[in-house]
């Protein structure tokens, strides 16, 4: 990195702002064709770049007055195109998110599979079908690249995503042989020799109901376990057709698999999450009610003590949080290391809509929990020690903060301005202290250089003092 810093003046930098000026109606713009060509070029620049930097501080939009942040960047359709183009590029590259002068985060990697461009927000609604078409082209380029390298297992997975990228339009019926030929299978059992996804798993991701039924009628095992990890989408572990559909397909697909006797509790990913948690993590709110076999399912924990509501709160879809609350999830449930649901979204930079929904469901804005169990207590003590010694990374401070930190501490530490505003609106205590050093939310925000949150907290404190 030191060499790169010395030569940074030699870098070629492309700034996407020049490719997408926000004209309300391009149809009435004299340079519409050139403008559209500039917009359409965005994926090409992302493809050839060595690094993709996202500048997403918490800041007020000068025209609309709306707060813009990392989470709103992730909601915009064209921003999702950039992310998808970078991920589906022919060469791997990091996506670095800069949210403050001192905060640079590396994208966790599978947001592209949880938030598709065609489902994003658009200033110009007519862009939605164009973005879906672009997504289709990006998938074709990815598949072509994988085919040339003969990476057949990955190629089949990406082939199955075409319907997902288009919002699962209705598919024309086909026979088994045609389906198998599309995936370069010579038989329904070839995957047992080659590894990778079974025809039933691929059909389930596609949402191909006709083929699902025909395969099961032909004795395909609806509960067969995946023996290959889909690392690009972070679908790793013992998945089945049901849990893959829960992540990437439709309500009708999940319902069909359940009717064909798919088991809710056989799938377990590397983190110990079942199909319900997988659907929650991918924000697939439509399928969540189908995957709850009983009230106890809502309290099931993964290997880290997380429950369905925790993983839903870090998805790109706040409706997943709302749906689980409607199913009677406890809004104040905490993990083994003491982290309540309300503290998850600030750490992951997801939509403040999660926090708003939780607070409306009477989540405690001042909740503070301690670790439970010897292992969790030991881990927490290690993280707290690093904080005391000044050696903790931001991730480790977040983990330490689970031990009796409040939601406002988390929002301040991570620069989550919108969530901080919501918490203050719901009477969060700005004077709450954490750790032996008695850190207040303001102290943590100042320590991390979260200028917007610092300004907010000082402004509210000044108003309370004068009032």
Spell out the alpha helix ranges (H) of 149-208.
Answer: 152-160, 162-165, 176-182, 191-194, 199-206
Q: What is the reported pLDDT for 321?
A: 98
Range from 8-17, 221-230, 272-281, 407-416 carrying the lowest mean pLDDT: 8-17
Are β-strands 95-100 and 52-55 bridged in parallel, bridged antiparallel, or unpaired? parallel
Of 170 and 455, the structure prediction assigns the larger pLDDT to: 455
Q: Any idea what the Cα angle at residue 287 is, between residues 219 and 358, rounded to 5°? A: 155
| Residues 445-456 pLDDT 10s | 999 988 889 999
Residue 20: pLDDT band with limits 50, 70, 90: low
Using CA atoms, how far residue 308 sits from 235, 238, 264, 300, 369, in Å, is: 16, 18, 14, 7, 18
Q: What is the reported pLDDT for 4?
A: 54
Q: Any idea what the Cα angle at residue 26 is, between residues 88 and 49, rounded to 5°? A: 25
Distance of CA 395 to the CA centre of its chain: 17
CATH of 151-270, one of 1.10.10.10, 1.25.40.20, 1.20.120.80, 2.40.37.10: 1.25.40.20
Alpha-carbon distance 315 to 114, whole Å?
A: 7
| Residues 380-430 pLDDT 10s | 999 999 999 999 998 999 999 999 999 999 999 998 999 999 999 999 999
| Residues 3-14 pLDDT 10s | 555 566 677 777
Q: Following DSSP, what letter does each residue of 14-57 receive, concatenated? A: --GGGG----S-GGG-TTHHHHHHHHHTHHHHHHH-S-EEEE--
| Residues 190-213 pLDDT 10s | 998 888 999 999 999 999 999 999
Same CATH topology for 151-270 and 365-467?
A: yes
Q: What is the reported pLDDT for 5?
A: 56
Q: Any idea what the Cα angle at residue 112 is, between residues 106 and 117, rounded to 5°? A: 130
| Residues 58-69 pLDDT 10s | 888 888 888 888
What are the residue ranges spanned by the domains of the chain? 2-126, 151-270, 365-467
pLDDT at residue 163 above 80?
yes
Token duo for residue 339: 């982290």
pLDDT at residue 103 above 80?
no
365-467 fold? 1.25.40
Task: Characterize 292-315 residue by residue with b for buried, 16 or more Cβ atoms within 10 angstroms of its Cβ, and e for exposed.
Answer: beeeebbebbbeebbbbbbbbbbb
Q: How many CB atoms lie within 10 A of CB 261?
A: 9
- What does the mean pLDDT of the chain come to? 90
- What is the torsion angle, in degrees rounded to the nearest 10, for the CA atoms of residue 352, residue 316, residue 280 and residue 131? 160
pLDDT at residue 28 above 90?
no
Q: What is the reported pLDDT for 21?
A: 47
Rg over alpha carbons for the chain, rounded to the nearest Å, is 23
């Amino acid at each position: 990195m030191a060499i790169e810093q010395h030569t940074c003046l030699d870098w070629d930098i492309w700034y996407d702002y020049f490719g997408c000026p926000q004209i309300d109606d391009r149809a009435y713009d004299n340079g519409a064709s050139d403008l559209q060509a500039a917009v359409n070029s965005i994926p090409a620049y992302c493809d050839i770049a060595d690094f993709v930097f996202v500048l997403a501080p918490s800041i007020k939009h000068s025209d609309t007055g709306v707060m813009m942040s990392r989470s709103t960047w992730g909601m915009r359709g064209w921003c999702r195109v950039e992310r998808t183009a970078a991920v589906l590029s022919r060469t791997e590259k990091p996506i670095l998110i800069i949210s403050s002068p001192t905060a640079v985060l590396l994208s966790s990697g599978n947001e592209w599979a949880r938030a598709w461009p065609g489902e994003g927000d658009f200033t110009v609604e007519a862009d939605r079908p164009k973005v879906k078409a672009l997504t289709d082209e990006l998938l074709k380029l990815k598949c072509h690249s994988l085919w040339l390298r003969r990476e057949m297992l990955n190629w089949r997975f990406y082939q199955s995503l075409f319907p997902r990228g288009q919002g699962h339009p209705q598919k024309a019926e086909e026979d088994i042989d045609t389906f198998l030929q599309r995936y370069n299978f010579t038989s329904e059992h070839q995957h047992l020799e080659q590894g990778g996804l079974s025809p039933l798993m691929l059909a389930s991701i596609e949402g191909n109901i006709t083929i699902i039924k025909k395969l099961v009628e032909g004795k395909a095992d609806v509960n067969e376990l995946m023996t290959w990890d889909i690392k690009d989408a972070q679908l790793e572990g013992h998945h089945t057709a049901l849990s893959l559909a829960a992540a990437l397909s439709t309500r009708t697909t999940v319902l069909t698999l359940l009717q064909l006797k798919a088991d809710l509790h056989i799938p377990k990913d590397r983190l110990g999450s079942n199909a319900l948690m997988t659907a929650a993590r991918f924000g697939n709110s439509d399928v969540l009610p189908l995957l709850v076999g009983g009230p106890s399912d809502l309290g099931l924990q993964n290997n880290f003590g997380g429950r369905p509501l925790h993983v839903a709160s870090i998805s790109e879809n706040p409706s997943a949080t709302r749906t689980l609350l409607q199913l009677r999830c406890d809004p104040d449930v905490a993990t083994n290391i003491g982290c309540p649901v309300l503290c998850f979204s600030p750490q992951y930079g997801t939509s403040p809509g999660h926090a708003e929904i939780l607070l409306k469901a009477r989540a405690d804005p001042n909740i503070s929990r301690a670790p439970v169990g010897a292992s969790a207590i030991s881990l927490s003590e290690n993280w707290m020690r690093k904080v005391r010694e000044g050696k903790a990374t931001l991730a480790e401070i977040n983990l330490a903060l689970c031990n009796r930190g409040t939601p406002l501490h988390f929002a301040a530490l991570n620069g989550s301005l919108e969530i901080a505003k919501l918490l203050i609106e719901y009477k969060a205590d700005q004077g709450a202290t954490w750790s032996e050093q008695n850190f207040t939310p303001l102290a943590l925000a100042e320590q991390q250089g979260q200028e917007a949150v610092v300004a907010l907290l000082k402004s509210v404190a000044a108003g309370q003092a004068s009032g």
